[in-house]
Every structure is written in C-alpha cells, then in structure tokens.
Amino acid sequence: MPYHYAKHRRPITDALRQTVTEDLPEIADIADPDLRHGAVEAWAYALACSDFGRITDIPPEGNPGLSVLKRGTQADHLRGVAHLALRFVEEFQQTNPEIVVDRDIVLTGALCHDVGKPYEFDPSNMKRWKADPSETGHPTLRHSVFGAHVCLAVGLPEEIAHIALGHSLEGQHIGVSTECLIVRHADHTWWQVAGGLGLLKPDSMGSAERMVRARPLSTEKPLAAE
Ligand SMILES: [Fe+2]
C-alpha cells in the first residue's frame, strides 16, 4: 500500500507570501511581529502543500460541498470572521473595560482558523480520499486538524493552533480558550447569517444552517409562496 505525505508541492517564495498579505490585508493590523510573520508563514506553508495558487483560489465553502457561497472567495469568509471577532471584543471592552482578552490572538486566530482548508479542499486529495476511504479516511485530516499542524509547524504559538483546532467540530470535545470561543462564534455566526441573507447556495446548507430560512437577494426572484 503506498504511503502519502502532506509535504510541500512547490517552494515557499516571497511571491507566494505576498499573495497572502494581498488576500488578507488585515494581517497588517496584527501588532505582534512574530504573530504577523507567523500568519503569513502559515498560509504560505498550507498553500504550498496544495495545488491552490492563493487563498482567493480556495472555493468559498465552509466544508467541502457544504455552506457554499453563491459568489466570493474563501478570503471574504476569513476577513469577515476577523472583522466580526474583533467587533465582539470591542463591544465587550466598551461596556466592560475590566475584561481580559488578547486582541492579537483573536485577530491572528481568526485569520488563521481555516488555514487547513488548502489541504482538505485540495482537488487531488479529495479525489484520492473519495476513491478509497478505507485506505485513506475521508478526509484523512479535517481542515481544523491539519490547520493546527500547520500553525505549530511554522512556529505559531499553541494559542493559535488551538483556535484552528477548536473553531470547528473538534472544539466540542475540548475546553476552548476565551479567544477560541470568540473566533468560533464569529465563524459560525458568519455562515449562519450569510445563509439567512440568501448568500449561500440553498442545496449546500447543512445541519449548521438548519434553523435558517433564506431570504432571496434583491437581484433574485422571490420564492414562490407555498
Ligand atoms: Fe471558517
């Protein structure tokens, strides 16, 4: 049986790093230089382990085939989650100045929470997993798990790896940090509100959007009355 290695398929270059800062301009707002550097390295590392050229090439989906945006890119999701997560922090800091929260960990964690998606969404990985799940698992590693690996591999702190792991289903099995909790809610809220506002393909809404009744966009025909 052949073994598989999730290694780099191409070199990590400055040109690749530049696409990361172009697609996620909010990285410039991370105050800590090590976190700022680590966020760029994490995305460059993850992209180089896949066939995706840049973040905006990754399909705009929550999971493969689920919560699929009608338009836009994965960068729209990442940036939206970062904006929402920071607003949670600002809201509570304004009304409760005694709270303690690490804004830099929230921002870096939000921008990196889906850093495992290049691996889980990679077409050749998906094709291999589908061909024989008994050999590989399907997927071998979810994006949350691979994302935690990427964060640690590039030297980001455990606090960021924890957010990559705990923002998704895996977070249900562990205690999550306050910063992870904020990113997790920003992420889930972003997808559910996108669903309610009619931004998701109706046939892609899964259990995460079970309460959602999508409203048509102003550019779409109203749904027929039942
Ligand atoms: Fe996400």
Neighbours of ion ligand 1 (CB under 5 A): 114, 187
pLDDT at 209: 82
pLDDT at 206: 83
Separation of 133 CA from ligand 1 center, angstroms?
A: 25
pLDDT at 223: 60
- Per residue in 43-98, pLDDT (tens digit) is 999 999 999 999 999 999 999 999 999 999 999 999 999 999 999 999 999 999 99
Band the pLDDT of 225: cuts 50, 70, 90. Answer: low
Q: How far is the C-alpha of 36 from the C-alpha of 192, rounded, in Å?
A: 29
Separation of 1 CA from ligand 1 center, angstroms?
A: 34
Average pLDDT over residues 8-13: 97
pLDDT at 66: 94
pLDDT at 46: 98
pLDDT at 224: 59
Band the pLDDT of 154: cuts 50, 70, 90. Answer: very high
Domain locations along the chain: 14-57+72-209
DSSP 114-137: TTTHHHHT-HHHHHHHHH-HHHH-
Separation of 213 CA from ligand 1 center, angstroms?
A: 21
- Per residue in 162-219, pLDDT (tens digit) is 999 999 989 899 999 999 999 999 999 999 999 999 999 999 998 878 899 999 999 9
Q: How far is the C-alpha of 195 from the C-alpha of 107, rounded, in Å?
A: 24
CATH of domain 14-57+72-209: 1.10.3210
- Per residue in 95-110, pLDDT (tens digit) is 999 999 999 999 999 9
Q: Which of 59, 66, 167, 72 is nearest to 114 (CA)?
A: 167
DSSP 140-184: SS-HHHHHHHHHHHTT--HHHHHHHHHTSGGGGGS---HHHHHHH
Band the pLDDT of 2: cuts 50, 70, 90. Answer: confident
pLDDT score of 1 more than 90: no
pLDDT at 208: 77
Q: Cite the beta strand spans of 12-109 per DSSP E.
A: 61-63, 66-68
Separation of 179 CA from ligand 1 center, angstroms?
A: 15
Select the more confidently predicted residue: 222 or 40: 40
- Per residue in 133-149, pLDDT (tens digit) is 999 999 999 999 999 99
Separation of 20 CA from ligand 1 center, angstroms?
A: 17
Separation of 2 CA from ligand 1 center, angstroms?
A: 32
Cis amide linkage into residue 133, ω under 30° from 0: no
Q: Are 53 and 15 in contact (CB under 8 A)?
A: no
pLDDT at 53: 98
